[in-house]
Amino acid sequence: MAARKKTSTQPKPRYHHGDLHRALIDASLALISEEGFSALTLREVARRAGVTHAAPYRHFADKEALLAAVAEEGFRAMAAQMRERMAPAGGPAERLSASGVAYVLFAVQHPSHFRVMFGPHFVRPEEHQGLSAEGGNAFGLLLQCLSEGQQAGLFRPGDTHALALGAWSLVHGLASLLVDGVLGQMGKGGMDAEALAVSQSRMLLEGLLRTPQNG
């Protein structure tokens, strides 16, 4: 007698993603790295993450919200890398130089994050408070070094924010040149990028150091 074929009344198991938020961010970074921003859509990100096209909307209202999460993560990681390199440095001047080198190396090591962090993607910045906070934390490390250096008489007096803007412009400019490949063979590889960052940070310090008064 043939065995009766069993039929199940249990629903089919649904696809479950262990960490959809993480998977969507990773898929976005991979897509930007491989095809550029023009290819980034929530539907394509969902396809790469292996979920339905509606799944991203459980975490992100739209593409801008997804990019804000990517940028927020980038600022958090960059600030952590800056703190790590600054920790063993002695005084404000050494910490300032270390922060600049860490900034450049983060950009070289994480170009997709860097491009999202500083790209023209956010038309509603007021809706991304976490992004503003993380970006402020990174800039705050620079301000702290400069303020401490001024108080110690190492750096020239003046508006600390203005000095910070100048310092940031230098390291950000170098980081952007390296990430975009404008410098050609210069900066190829982590060690070359680090050497460039160190030399430029030293030039920055020479401009910030207080000039002894004659007489």
pTM over 0.75: yes
Q: In this structure, what DSSP letter does residue 108 have?
A: H
Does residue 185 or residue 152 have the better pLDDT? 152
92 assigned to some structural domain: yes
Helix (H, G, I), strand (E, B) or coil at 153: coil
Is the predicted pLDDT of residue 213 greater than 50, yes or no?
no
Q: Distance between CA 145 and CA 75 in Å, rounded?
A: 18
Q: How many helices (H) and strands (E) does the chain have?
A: 8, 0
- The whole-number average pLDDT for the span 193-210 is 89
Q: pLDDT (tens digit, 9 = 90+) per residue, 27-41?
A: 999 999 999 888 999
Same domain for 128 and 198? yes
Which DSSP state fits 89?
A: -
Residue 48: CATH number of its domain: 1.10.10.60
Residue 196 in this model has a pLDDT that exceeds 80: yes
For residues 121 and 101, which has the higher predicted lDDT (pLDDT)?
101
Q: Please indicate, yes or no, whether residues 38 and 109 belong to a single structural domain of this protein.
A: no
For the cut 90, the answer to whether the pLDDT of residue 155 exceeds it is yes
Mean pLDDT across 121-147: 90
Number of domains in the chain: 2
106, two tokens: 């983060």
Same domain, 81 and 38: no
Together in a domain, 97 and 39: no
What is the tens place of the pLDDT at every residue in 5-29? 444 443 333 344 568 999 999 999 9
Q: Please indicate, yes or no, whether residues 43 and 76 belong to a single structural domain of this protein.
A: no
Tell me whether residue 213 is exposed, middle or buried, using C-beta atoms within 10 angstroms of its C-beta: 0 to 12, 13 to 18, 19 or more. Answer: exposed
According to the model, what pLDDT value does residue 17 have?
A: 54
- Whole-angstrom distance, CA of residue 145 vs CA of residue 162: 13
Please give the residue range of the domain that contains residue 85.
Answer: 71-208
Same domain, 39 and 143: no
Quick one: 36 and 99 in the same domain?
no
Q: What is the pLDDT of residue 15?
A: 43
pLDDT interval class at 71 (50, 70, 90): very high
Any domain includes 11: no
In a domain, 165, yes or no: yes
With CA atoms as reference, report the closest residue to 101 among 157, 175, 35, 34: 175
Q: Do 46 and 88 share a structural domain?
A: no
What's the rounded Cα separation, in Å, for the pair 109 and 104? 9
To the nearest 10°, report the CA torsion of 75, 76, 79, 85.
-130
Residue 119 confidence (pLDDT) above 70: yes
Same domain, 22 and 43: yes
99 and 179 share one domain: yes
pLDDT given for residue 2 in this prediction: 46
Query: Does 195 have pLDDT greater than 70?
Result: yes
